[in-house]
């Protein structure tokens, strides 16, 4: 039992916070957002230079062999700075799928291009009616010769506009909601038959709706077991949820800091509004919410390495519930305590609120994960 | 960062668990499960078993009978004790006055009182709150005047928990009425059998008798019963209140109660199926379990921090423990009420003599719900806790 960071982890935290502190203020972010694809290639290059893009990959694959704690550290820092670059889509999700299930050839073909920052990925998973159910897949992958033909539509694919490669979930057999018969495929974004419509998301990221019409890929496109890919998807999505929890903690921490600062400086009735007990207690409740969220983010991080998939799922779901609730409370109260200023596009606080709000609805919202916790029999056995 | 317990810590947990299983009197445990009040004899019997094992004052320094455990071991011990459940050592002696005596007391006081606290030869109670001094404790008025080799004490204490069993009370008394309110207070030990002390029971809304008013009418106390320096009592009181930061979350208590909720909810039916199968109920319960897991980890963060960096500078997260711990305890009693529904109503159908066994499983649920409203009031109300966060953590 040790909650302290190791020396290497502490250095990692300092270096990523240092980089973002120098190069990622709120005004720079606005500029990055306007670049093609919706984020900064130059910034991505700096992430690569600092080794952030290679963290979770095995040393044999050119990475640093880091674990869930290191991902937590990076994601928290990215949250704090409201970073829009596709770390989650590329390093956590695509990287996770490649690490867990990639063949030697697939790893060699893709991991170096993630680590050096030359390529980014997008996870084409969500469908029109799938909502948060990872097993609900209608996009089909049909065998043709040695390869596959993919047909279907995916929505709100994060980084879908800029990605070089899609990782697509597709049904190889069975019905729409069957747990078995789902495969995971690596599909070049420039393959024939792909149409993508990109757009900014509410929180300043970019996504795309992507259609696959008779898209042909080779045998080497299949990642892992094409007929039983769900456990792989669940595992990596749980890792992504844990990463989102950490990002949310960074966002909440910064929201609280900014709110407390505002309470100290904003004057009404001749005094700083932070002298009013109603507002003080609201801020105290925000602090409680942030600390509870921080604890559960650590729990989710730890759960990424649980051997038992059900225990992992229940733990991560519990964390996502806590983060959903804390994030909503901290986000809403940050706006309330900032008053009118909090409602404006030009103040950063509203953008923290928006990102927190979108995190709640990514990979399962609070209600969805609460159900998962009940399905797992709760936490107290 | 490694959030798993070590092999040694897990072995320790097994050892503690086995000891409770083999040594807590079954009737004591059963009463705890049902939320009944224990008799003085039942509590003392168990505490002496614990003390004989060497675990009665586990967190004290080794020279005074402590165990030398790590902060994680203390955490495990407390959690297992609460979850078994078995009565925790009497806080007023073991966690409050004991540490004040071994930290600020003189050698005679240490020699006399510490072993008696450990073996519960003296039952201690706490003379802090007064009718006019609750959250604003430093405004207290009970007076101690020096006359020769005696203190003469006059005044009134209230909310004095289990004073009806007590042999001794540690009192905050005003000894310098001219000084600014925090600086004129002394910490004095008083024999409850002294002439001039009257204990009047206060019946709480659950019908129970836990707290009392204690009146002091020209009570004579030997001067050597002053602890530390005269007029420095407020410092000792602050030390005392800050000493037990992590136990207050009572994670084990809430865990045990959640197990009870699950057990009862799988037996009680609603609409032809157990309450436990109702999705809305399951979600409400799961929400509390999640809050509790978060609290447990927050507590472990504080514990690990203390283990590493000492208790000097508290982890800011420690102020979360009281607020969330009390809210969760209250939420669990509300869920028990929800489970038993209309059978919450019968009042005291059997007393403690088991005369109506059919009702045993419900009789204490409403009283326990009523009684648990206290947890967000005592030990610094949750509003006071928010004031502390505001000032000490947020700097507002």
Partner-chain contact B293 A299, CB within 8 Å: yes
Which of the residue ranges A141-145, A224-228, B298-302 would you say has the lowest mean pLDDT?
B298-302
HSE at residue B203, side-chain half, CA atoms within 13 A, is 3
Q: Which two tokens stand for residue A213?
A: 């019409």
- Looking at residue B199, its pLDDT comes to 98
Return the residue matching tokens 């939420």: B331
A271-294 residue pLDDT tens? 999 999 999 999 999 999 999 999
Whole-number pLDDT of residue B352: 52
Of A287, A292, A295, the CB nearest to B394: A287
pLDDT at B113: 98
Dump strand ranges (E) for chain A. Answer: 121-124, 140-144, 147-158, 165-171, 182-188, 194-200, 206-217, 222-223, 267-268, 271-272
Contact state of A274 with B396 under an 8 Å Cβ cutoff = yes
pLDDT in tens, A68-84: 999 999 999 999 999 99
> pLDDT of chain B along its 396 residues, tens only?
777 789 999 999 999 999 999 999 999 999 888 878 889 999 999 999 999 999 999 999 999 999 999 888 998 999 899 989 999 999 999 999 999 999 999 999 999 999 999 999 999 999 999 999 999 999 999 999 999 999 999 999 999 999 999 999 999 999 999 999 899 999 999 999 999 999 999 999 988 899 999 999 999 999 999 999 999 999 999 888 876 655 789 999 999 999 999 999 999 999 999 999 999 999 999 999 999 999 999 999 988 887 776 666 667 777 899 999 999 999 999 999 999 999 888 876 545 554 444 456 677 899 999 999 999 999 889 999 999 999 999 999
**ipTM value:** 0.96
Query: What local confidence, expressed as pLDDT, does residue B244 receive?
Result: 61
* Cβ contact B293–A321 (<8 Å): no
Q: How confident is the model at residue A130 (pLDDT cuts 50, 70, 90)?
A: very high
* CB-based contact A161:A124 (threshold 8 Å): no
pLDDT for the residue numbered A73: 98
Confidence of residue A345 (pLDDT cuts 50, 70, 90): very high
What pLDDT was estimated at residue B245?
59
Who among A6, A277, A295 is closest to B298 (CB)?
A: A295
pLDDT of A136: 98
Q: Is B8 a catalytic residue?
A: no
Assign A251 to helix, strand or coil: helix
Provide CB contacts within 8 A for A5, sequence distance 6+.
Answer: A13, A69, A73, B1
- Within 10 angstroms of residue B286's Cβ, the number of other Cβ atoms is 26
Closest residue in chain A to residue B75, using alpha carbons only? A1
Q: Which residues of A touch B326 (CB under 8 A)?
A: none
The three-point CA angle B388-B394-B396 to 5° equals 85
CB contact under 8 A, B258 and A284: no
Would you state the structure tokens that stand for residue B66, as one six-digit string? 């402590």
Task: Indicate which of B1, B75, B308 best probes the interface with A, i.e. most A CBs within 10 Å of its own CB.
Answer: B1
Q: Which of A4, A302, A374 minimises the CB distance to B282?
A: A374
From B42, B244, B277, B296, active-site residue:
B244
Chain segment A196-208, per-residue pLDDT in tens = 999 999 999 999 9
Q: Which residues of B touch A6 (CB under 8 A)?
A: 1
The pLDDT of residue B313 is: 66
Residue B349: what pLDDT? 54
State pTM to two decimals: 0.94
**Closest CB to A1 among B286, B290, B300:** B300
| Shortest distance, CA A141 to any CA of chain B (angstroms) | 36
Query: What pLDDT does residue B246 have?
Result: 58
Which tens digits make up the pLDDT trace of A183-194? 999 999 999 999
A285 has a chain B CB within 8 A of its CB: yes
């Amino acid at each position: 039992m040790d909650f302290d960071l190791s020396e290497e982890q502490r250095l990692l935290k300092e270096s990523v916070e240092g980089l973002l502190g120098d190069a990622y203020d709120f005004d720079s972010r606005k500029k990055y957002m306007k670049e093609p694809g919706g984020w900064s290639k130059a910034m991505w290059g700096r992430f690569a230079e600092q080794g952030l893009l290679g963290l979770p990959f095995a040393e044999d694959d050119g990475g640093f062999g880091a674990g869930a704690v290191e991902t937590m550290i990076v994601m928290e820092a990215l949250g704090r700075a409201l970073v829009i670059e596709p770390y989650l889509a590329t390093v956590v999700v695509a990287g996770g799928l490649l690490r867990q299930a990639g063949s030697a050839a697939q790893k060699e073909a893709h991991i170096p291009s993630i680590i050096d920052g030359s390529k980014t990925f997008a996870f084409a998973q969500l469908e029109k009616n799938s909502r948060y159910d990872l097993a609900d897949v209608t996009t089909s992958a049909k065998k043709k010769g040695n390869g596959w033909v993919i047909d279907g539509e995916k929505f709100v694919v994060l980084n879908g506009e800029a990605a070089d490669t899609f990782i697509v979930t597709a049904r190889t057999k069975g019905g729409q909601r069957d747990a078995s018969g789902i495969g995971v495929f690596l599909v070049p974004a420039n393959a024939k038959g792909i149409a993508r419509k990109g757009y900014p998301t509410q929180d300043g990221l970019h996504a795309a709706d992507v259609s696959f019409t008779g898209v042909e890929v080779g045998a080497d496109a299949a990642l892992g077991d094409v007929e039983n890919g769900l456990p792989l998807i669940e595992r990596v999505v749980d890792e992504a949820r844990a990463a989102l929890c950490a990002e949310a903690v960074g966002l909440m921490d910064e929201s609280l800091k900014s709110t407390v600062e505002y309470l100290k400086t904003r004057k009404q009735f001749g005094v700083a509004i932070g002298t009013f007990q109603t507002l003080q207690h609201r801020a105290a409740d925000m602090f409680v919410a942030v600390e509870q969220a921080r604890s559960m983010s650590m729990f989710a991080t730890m759960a990424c390495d649980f051997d038992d998939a059900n225990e992992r799922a229940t733990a991560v779901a519990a964390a996502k519930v806590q983060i959903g609730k804390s994030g909503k409370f901290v986000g809403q109260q940050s706006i309330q305590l900032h008053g009118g200023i909090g409602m404006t596009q030009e103040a950063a606080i509203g953008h923290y609120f928006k990102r927190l709000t979108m995190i709640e609805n990514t990979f399962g919202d609070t209600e969805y994960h609460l159900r998962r916790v009940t399905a797992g029999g709760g936490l107290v056995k | 960062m490694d959030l798993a317990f070590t092999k040694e810590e897990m072995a320790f947990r097994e050892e503690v668990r086995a000891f409770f299983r083999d040594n807590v009197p079954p009737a004591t445990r059963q009463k705890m499960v049902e939320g009944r009040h224990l008799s003085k004899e039942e509590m003392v019997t168990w505490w002496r078993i614990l003390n004989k094992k060497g675990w009665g004052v586990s967190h004290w320094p080794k020279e005074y009978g402590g165990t030398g455990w790590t902060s994680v071991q203390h955490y495990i011990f407390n959690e297992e004790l609460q979850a078994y459940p078995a009565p925790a050592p009497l806080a007023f002696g073991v966690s409050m006055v004991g540490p004040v005596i071994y930290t600020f007391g003189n050698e005679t006081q240490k020699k006399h009182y510490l072993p008696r606290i450990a073996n519960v030869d003296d039952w201690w109670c706490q003379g802090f709150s007064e009718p006019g001094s609750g959250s604003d404790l430093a405004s207290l008025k009970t007076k101690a005047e020096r006359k020769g080799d005696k203190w003469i004490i006059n005044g009134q204490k209230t909310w004095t928990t289990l004073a009806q069993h007590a042999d001794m009370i540690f009192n905050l008394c005003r000894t310098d009425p001219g000084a600014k309110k925090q600086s004129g207070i002394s910490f004095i030990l008083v024999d409850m059998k002294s002439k001039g002390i009257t204990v009047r029971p206060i019946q709480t809304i659950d019908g129970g008798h836990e707290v009392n008013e204690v009146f002091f009418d020209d009570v004579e106390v030997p001067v050597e019963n002053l602890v530390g320096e005269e007029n420095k009592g407020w410092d000792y009181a602050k030390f005392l209140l800050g000493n037990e930061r992590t136990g207050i979350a009572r994670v084990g208590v809430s865990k045990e109660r959640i197990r009870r909720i699950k057990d009862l909810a799988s037996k009680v039916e609603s609409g032809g199926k157990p309450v436990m199968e109702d999705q809305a109920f399951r979600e409400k319960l799961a929400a509390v379990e999640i809050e509790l897991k978060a609290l447990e980890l927050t507590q472990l963060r504080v514990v690990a921090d203390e283990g590493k960096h000492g208790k000097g500078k508290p982890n800011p997260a420690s102020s979360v423990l009281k607020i969330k711990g009390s809210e969760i305890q209250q939420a669990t009693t509300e869920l028990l009420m929800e489970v038993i529904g209309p059978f919450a109503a019968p009042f005291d159908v059997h007393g403690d003599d088991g005369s109506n066994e059919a009702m045993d499983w419900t009789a204490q649920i409403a009283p326990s719900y009523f009684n648990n409203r206290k947890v967000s009031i005592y030990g610094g109300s949750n509003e006071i806790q928010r004031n502390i966060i505001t000032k000490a953590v947020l700097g507002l």
